[in-house]
């Protein structure tokens, strides 16, 4: 291989000088770091001059740049720029000053947003433990029987008084006819009893007359007996005559007692007839009540709702046999409100009438308006089935929640129902 073909000689002169310069700079750096760590280690060595060598190394590139051609200077600048001791470069902020402006603007915006959030949040109290409530009720028939029709369906809006189911009424019409016959029979017994009472009153009058007649006869017989006894004593009368008048006196007394007993019996019979009449009147009232109940049962075969609302939980079907009190469906009435369970530390500034912004989870893009109606007098756990007994065991204080009732200012135009989750924001300031 010739001298001109050697790989090292194939490099341009400027590249060789650049590589030489970089090697010298690396050696100088190593020596400078050694002197910095061990200042006395190289003292006394011949030709030791760190500062002179550094100045020589720094001036050497300038001389080489002056001696090199423009093309070599360009290549040297490209290579020299990648070294560790290249000329000082501009910082990121110097090269991109708009980043500093963006950072400052971001800090200002964050400060404004934080202040705004703190200012606004201090004017509201909110909780996600809130749900829609309504006094929904179950529709139960008052009579049993087979359902003949169900004119409603699920989620249908019904008006107050609307018929939601019909029960077969034939059995109840038969019962009505029977009760009407019983009423007629009871009412017919009254004239018969009245006639008996009138006859008994005549018997009492007759018995009274018989008493008067018997007492008159008794009085005459007593007088006859007195005269006969007097004649017997004087000898003017016979013993037989005296005995006969005594017998007649006893017979008159018995007759008088008999008429008095008949009179008393007639009076008691009258009282019995009068009691019988009262009983007949009571039977009439009972029969009429049964007739009225039969009429009501016929009315009850048409099952109706007392309030307007939506039909839910519909279980009734045509041909189904239902018992009295069996649930057929549930009606959710129109008036609805919100029960929000705020922490007890949040209600200190709440007052009835304060405006409320209501967000329903089912409609996240809409906000409804309402107002605070009332605050329950007591926490929710006090009225639970198993209230807490804080006087027993180890006590751990837990922040209680107090139910707060919130009502809508206007009826929402969307479908809402009990149990739906909402997030109320109460304006407390």
What CATH number does the domain containing 151 carry?
A: 2.40.50.100
Buried b (16+ CB within 10 A) or exposed e, 122-157: eeebbbeebebbbebeebebebebebeebebeeeee
62-66, 170-174, 416-420: segment of lowest average pLDDT: 62-66
pLDDT per residue as tens digits for the range 231-259:
767 766 666 766 777 777 777 778 788 88
Same-domain status, 280 and 175 = yes
Tell me the per-residue pLDDT of 312-353, one tens digit each, with 9 for 90 and over.
Answer: 999 999 999 999 999 999 999 988 999 999 999 999 999 999
Question: What is the C-alpha separation between 291 and 424, in angstroms, rounded?
Answer: 55
Q: For the chain, how many structural domains are there in total?
A: 5
Q: Are residues 423 and 388 in the same domain?
A: yes
Dist CA 193 CA 313 (whole Å): 57
Q: Are 51 and 20 within one domain? A: yes
At residue 426, the pLDDT reads: 94
Partner residues linked to 424 by β-bridges: 358
Per-residue pLDDT at 15? 62
Q: Is residue 3 part of a domain?
A: no
289-316 pLDDT, tens digit per residue, is: 999 999 999 999 999 999 999 999 999 9
| Size of the chain, expressed as the number of residues it contains | 429
Q: pLDDT by residue (tens digit) across 261-276?
A: 888 888 888 888 888 8
How far apart are alpha carbons 16 and 20 in whole angstroms?
6
Whether 338 is in a domain gets the answer yes
Any domain includes 86: no
Judge if 296 and 270 occupy the same domain.
yes
User: pLDDT class for 84, splitting at 50, 70, 90?
Assistant: very low
User: What pLDDT, in 10s, does the model give residues 113-158?
Assistant: 887 777 666 788 999 999 999 999 999 999 999 999 999 999 999 9
CB 139 within 8 A of CB 164: yes
Is 8 domain-assigned?
A: no
Question: Residue 2 falls within a domain, yes or no?
Answer: no
What Rg do the C-alpha atoms of the chain give, in angstroms?
A: 61
Is 221 a domain residue?
A: yes
Q: Is residue 207 part of a domain?
A: yes
Both 48 and 155 in one domain: the answer is no
Same-domain status, 236 and 215? yes
With a cut of 80, say whether residue 21 has pLDDT above it: no
Q: Are residues 226 and 277 in the same domain?
A: yes
Q: Which domain holds residue 352?
A: 124-134+334-427
DSSP bridge partners of 322: 145
Q: What is the CATH number of the domain that holds 262?
A: 1.10.287.620
**Are 96 and 73 found together in one domain?**
no
Distance CA 253, CA 259 (A): 10
Together in a domain, 181 and 283:
yes
Same domain as 273, residue 195? yes
In the numeric block, which tokens belong to residue 48?
């030791």
Q: Are residues 285 and 179 in the same domain?
A: yes
Q: How confident is the model at residue 5 (pLDDT cuts 50, 70, 90)?
A: very low
Q: What is the mean pLDDT of residues 16-42?
A: 65
> Vertex 130, ends 128 and 134: CA angle to 5°?
160
Distance, CA of 226 to CA of 244 (rounded, Å): 12
Task: Please indicate, yes or no, whether residues 163 and 181 belong to a single structural domain of this protein.
Answer: no
Is residue 80 predicted with pLDDT exceeding 60?
no
Secondary structure class of 380 (helix, strand, coil): coil
Distance set, CA 104 to CA 98, 100, 107, 216, 245 (Å): 10, 6, 5, 140, 151
Q: Is residue 339 part of a domain?
A: yes
């Amino acid at each position: 291989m010739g001298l001109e073909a050697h790989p090292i000689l194939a490099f341009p002169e400027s590249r060789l000088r650049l590589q030489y310069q970089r090697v010298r700079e690396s050696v100088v750096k190593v020596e400078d770091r050694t002197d910095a760590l061990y200042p006395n280690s190289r003292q006394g060595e011949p030709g030791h001059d760190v500062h002179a060598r550094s100045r020589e190394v720094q001036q050497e590139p300038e001389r080489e740049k002056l001696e090199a051609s423009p093309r070599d200077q360009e290549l040297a600048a490209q290579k020299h720029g990648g070294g560790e001791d290249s000329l000082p470069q501009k910082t990121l902020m110097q090269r991109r000053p708009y980043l500093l402006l963006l950072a400052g603007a971001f800090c200002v915006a964050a400060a404004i947003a934080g202040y705004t959030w703190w200012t606004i949040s201090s004017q509201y109290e909110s909780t996600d433990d809130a749900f829609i409530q309504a006094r929904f009720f179950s529709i139960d028939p008052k009579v049993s029987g087979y359902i003949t029709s169900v004119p409603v369906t699920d989620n249908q809006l019904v008006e107050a008084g609307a018929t939601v189911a019909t029960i077969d009424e034939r059995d109840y019409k038969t019962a009505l006819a029977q009760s009407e016959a019983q009423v007629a029979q009871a009412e017919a017994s009254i004239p018969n009893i009245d006639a008996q009472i009138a006859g008994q009153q005549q018997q009492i009058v007759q018995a009274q007359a018989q008493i008067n007649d018997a007492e008159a006869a008794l009085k005459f017989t007593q007088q006859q007996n007195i005269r006969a006894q007097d004649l017997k004593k004087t000898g003017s009368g016979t013993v037989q005559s005296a005995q006969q008048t005594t017998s007649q006196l006893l017979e008159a007394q018995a007759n008088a007692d008999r008429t008095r007993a008949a009179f008393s019996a007639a009076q008691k019979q009258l009282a019995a007839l009068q009691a019988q009449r009262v009983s007949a009147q009571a039977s009439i009232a009972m029969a009429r009540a049964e007739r009225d109940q039969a009429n009501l049962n016929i009315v009850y075969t048409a099952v109706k709702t007392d309030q307007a609302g939506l039909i839910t939980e519909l279980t009734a079907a045509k041909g189904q046999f239902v018992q009295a009190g069996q649930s057929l469906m549930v009606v959710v009435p129109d008036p609805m409100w919100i029960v929000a369970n705020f922490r007890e530390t949040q209600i200190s500034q709440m007052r009835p009438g304060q405006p409320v912004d209501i967000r329903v989870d089912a409609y996240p893009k809409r906000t409804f308006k309402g107002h605070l109606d009332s605050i329950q007098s007591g926490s929710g756990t006090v009225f639970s089935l198993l209230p807490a007994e804080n006087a027993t065991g180890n006590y751990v204080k837990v922040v209680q929640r107090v139910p707060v009732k919130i009502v809508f200012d206007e009826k929402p135009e969307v479908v809402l129902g009990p149990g739906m989750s909402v997030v109320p924001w109460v304006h407390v300031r």
